Structure 1
Amino acid sequence: MTIAMPPLDPAPPLSYFEFWSPKLFYIPVWIWAVWLALRYRGVRLPLIANPGLPASGLVGESKSHVLHGAGDDARRWIAPFTTVVRGTGPAGVAEALAALDRVGLSLPVVAKPDLGCRGAGVRPIRNDVEMEQYLADFPVGQTIVLQKLIDVEGEAGVFYIRRPGAERGRIFSLTLKHFPHVEGDGVSTLRDLILRDPRAGELSHLYFPRHTDRLDTVLPLGERVRLAFAGSHSRGAIFRNGARHITDALERQFDAIARDIPEFWFGRFDVRFADFEAFRRGEDLTIVEINGAGAEATHIWDSRTRLRDAYATLFEQFELLWAIGSANRQRGFRPEPWRTFLNRWLTERRLVATYPQTA
C-alpha cells in the first residue's frame, strides 16, 4: 500500500520556543558565529562554502540560477520550470503562458519569487484569473519562477553536507513536512474550526489572511480544507524530525545529486513525493528547490525538540559551514566583497516585503 507520509504522531501543538522572535531565538547562534569567525580566522568564510553559488546561497540567491546550475543527471530529479519578468504592460498573462508553453508546461503551476526565502510569495496558480492576480500583486521588473505543480502530499527537507575531499557526503537533517487541515462538521464555520484546532488556533494569524473569503462559511460534513500550501514552518506547515527514516539508499541518492551541482557542499533540497517508502529508497522524488548556505536544519522546529537540542544542532551546522568555507579558502576560493554581500541582503529584505500573500 502506498503511503504518502507517516501519520502525525502525538506531540505538543507548539514547543515553547517555536515562534519566539528570531531576534531573540538566534542570539546564542550569532554569538557562536562570532566565535567561529575568530577560530577559523574569517568572518566571510560562509560565503565560499558553496563556491558554485553567488555568496554560497547564504542570502539573495536566485532560485533559477541554482536550479540551472545542476548537471544533466541532477536535473532529471528537478521539477520543470521557467521564469518570467513581471512587466508593466497588459499582456502579462499571455507572456507567462507563452513562457510555460516554450518549455512544455501548462497550468497548474507554482509561482514563486526568484529571489526570496522562507516561502515568501509562494502560491499555486491553477487558472488564468489566479495568474493575472499574482502578476498584478508582484513587484514590477522582478523575476518569477513558474514551476510544475507537484500536487502530492509528501514533502521533506533534506539537508546535505559534504566536506571538500571527503569520499561521501551525508544527510545532516531530514525534516518531514505535514500540511495542516481542518475537517468540516456541517455546523461550524472555517473560522471556528481553525480556532478549535489545538495547533491551528495558536497560529490563526497565519491562516486567517489566506482564507478570508471563506472564514464565515460552514464547511459540509467531511470536507477537508488545507490551511497552508507552502512547506515552510514560518508559514504554518508542521515539521517532524525524520532522522530515523534516513536510509543508506537515500543518502547515496542525494550524494549523487549534490555531486552533479558544481562546487555544492552544503545546503538543503526541498522535495516532494507520493510514496514515502519509495522516497526512503531514493526513488520517485522531485526536487522543487535547492537552498545553499542560508539553509537551516529545519527538524529543530519539530514541537518535541528541546531548546538545548535545537541549539546543539545549529551550533554543529554553523561549525560545519565555517569548516567547509575554511577548506575552500585553502583550495584558493575567495569571498565576494562586503559591499556586494550587503547589497544582496538589503535587496532581498526589501523585495520580500513586496511579494504577494503566501498560500
Structure 2
Amino acid sequence: MTDMSTLTTPSSSSDKPPSPLSMFEFWPGWIFYTPVVMYWIILGLRYRDVSLPTAANPRIETGGLCGESKSSILDMAGETARRWIAPYAIMETGENDASRALRAMEKTGLGFPVVLKPDIGCNGTGVKLIGDEAALTQALATFPRHVSLMLQRLIPYSHEVGIFYIRHPDEKRGRITSLTYKEVPVLTGDGRSTVEELLRADPRTRLVPQIYIPRLRARLGEVLAAGESLPLVFTGNHCKGAIFHDCTATVTPELESRIDEIMHDIPDFHFGRIDVKAESAAALLRGEKFEIIEINGVGSEATHIWDSRTTLRDAYAAQFMHYRETFRIGAKKRRAGWKPSGAMTMLRCWLRQRRLLASYPLND
C-alpha cells in the first residue's frame, strides 16, 4: 500500500529539511487571520456586500460560512454523491437520548464503532469515537441538552485527506485547488519514559504540548511498553494536533473527475472542502476507495497552508485566492437571482456557533 506521506511535495524549492513547525502554524488566530479579514472587507466594499460569499453555496445556511448544519449539506446529496458518503444518523440530546441514539443507529443500519460529533461545529470540537453502548451513554451525557448530534459510521480507511473544490456556475467542470494529507502524530513507548516525557522529547509535540496535554492528562504519568503506540488525536484537525502535508501537486485527472462528478450531484454547491478517508494514496488518486466524512462550505480553508514547509507568503496567497473566488462566484449567483445572507445573519450564526462550541466537551 502506498503511503500518502510519500506524495507530499515541498512548498518551496529549498533543499533544507522541513522544520517541525512553520513560523506561523500556531500563531494566535487573531494575528494570522487579521490580514484575511481585512482582505475580505476590501472585497466586500468592492462588491458592495461583505456577505456576498454566502451566495456561493446558496442552498446552505450562510453558504457554509458559519453555523451551518453538517447533515443538512449531506442531505442534499443525490444518488450519485450519496454512494460516496459514510452513512450517518441525526439525534438530539435530552431525555433518554441514549435509547433514541440507538434507535437512530438501527434505522440507518449503523453499528459500533461510530463517530459522535456535533451537527453544528468546526475544528473537530466535541468529536468522539464510540465503541459500545456504555461509551455512547457516557459521551452523550457530556453534551448540553437539546443540541443536534450526528452519529456516523467509522470509516475503515486510515488515510484522512482534505480536498478543496471550486466550480464557477458558468463552468461545466470544477477543479481541485488543494489536496492535504492529514497525519495523526503517534508516540511510541520505550518501556521507561512516561507519556509526558515522550511528548516533551518529540521534535514537534514538545513545541506545542498545550495542544495534547489536556486530552492526555489522565495518562501523562503512564509508561508505555516498548514499541507500544499512542495516537495523540483522533480527528484530522490541525488546531487539535494533526500534522498536515501538502499533496496538491499530485492531483490526478481521475481524482478531479470523480470529485467533480460527486459535487455536481449536490445542488448549487460551488466552493468548499471535502474531508474524506481513503484506503490508500494510489486508490484515492485513481478516484477510488474513499468515503466522505463531511462537506464544508465557504468557511472552510485550503488546509495545505498548514504544511510546515509552507511560507507565510504562500499561505496568504492561497487564502486570498480562495476568498477572492468566493466573491466572484457569489457575484455570479447574485446575478442569477440568489440573495446573500446579509451581514446580520452572518453575525447571528457566528455567535450561535461560538456559544455551541464553548458548550461541547473536549474532543478525542
Give the distance between the partners of 1:341 and 1:30, measured in 2 at CA: 14
**Which residue of the partner structure matches residue 211 of structure 2?**
206
SS in 1 for 2:137: helix
Q: Say whether residues 1:318 and 2:341 are aligned partners.
A: no
Which letter maps to 1:75? R
**Which residue of the partner structure matches residue 94 of structure 1?**
99
- Counting only pairs closer than 5 Å after superposition, residues 338-353 of structure 1 correspond to structure 2 as 338-353=343-358
**Which residue of the partner structure matches residue 22 of structure 1?**
29
Q: Percent identity?
A: 47
Give the distance between the partners of 2:339 and 2:178, measured in 1 at CA: 28
- 1:65 corresponds, among 60, 72, 77, to 72
Give the distance between the partners of 2:350 and 2:41, measured in 1 at CA: 19
Which letter maps to 2:278? F
Which letter maps to 2:26? F
- The Cα of 1:7 is off from its aligned counterpart by 4.5
Q: Can you list the C-alpha shifts for 1:166-216, whole angstroms capped at 9, x where unaligned? A: 121000111110000010111111111111101111222121121222211
Q: Say whether residues 1:5 and 2:10 are aligned partners.
A: no
Q: Say whether residues 1:145 and 2:146 are aligned partners.
A: no
TM-score by length of 1: 0.96
- 1:218 corresponds, among 201, 223, 237, to 223
- Counting only pairs closer than 5 Å after superposition, residues 1-359 of structure 1 correspond to structure 2 as 2-7=1-6, 11-87=18-94, 89=95, 91-359=96-364
- The Cα of 1:152 is off from its aligned counterpart by 2.8
Give the distance between the partners of 2:254 and 2:297, measured in 1 at CA: 23
TM-score by length of 2: 0.95
Of 12-21 and 203-212, the range deviating more from structure 2? 203-212
- The Cα of 1:42 is off from its aligned counterpart by 2.1
Give the distance between the partners of 1:193 and 1:229, measured in 2 at CA: 18
- How many residue pairs get aligned? The number is 356
Q: Can you list the C-alpha shifts for 1:60-117, whole angstroms capped at 9, x where unaligned? A: 0000101111111001100000011001x3x322221111011111111001100001
State the Cα RMSD in Å. 1.3
Give the distance between the partners of 2:325 and 2:281, measured in 1 at CA: 29
- Give ranges in structure 2 of 5+ residues lacking alignment: 9-16
Q: Can you list the C-alpha shifts for 1:11-46, whole angstroms capped at 9, x where unaligned? A: 211111111111111111112112211222222211
Any conservation in 2 of the 1:4–1:273 contact (CA below 8 Å)?
A: no
Of 110-119 and 335-344, the range deviating more from structure 2? 335-344
Which letter maps to 1:49? A
- The Cα of 1:129 is off from its aligned counterpart by 2.5
- The Cα of 1:294 is off from its aligned counterpart by 0.5
Any conservation in 2 of the 1:4–1:274 contact (CA below 8 Å)?
A: no
SS in 1 for 2:141: helix
Q: Can you list the C-alpha shifts for 1:116-171, whole angstroms capped at 9, x where unaligned? A: 01111111111223212211110100000000011432010000001111121000
- Give ranges in structure 1 of 5+ residues lacking alignment: none
Give the distance between the partners of 1:233 and 1:8, measured in 2 at CA: 19
Any conservation in 1 of the 2:52–2:327 contact (CA below 8 Å)?
A: yes
Q: Can you list the C-alpha shifts for 1:217-245, whole angstroms capped at 9, x where unaligned? A: 11111111100111100000000111121
SS in 2 for 1:168: coil
Which letter maps to 1:20? W
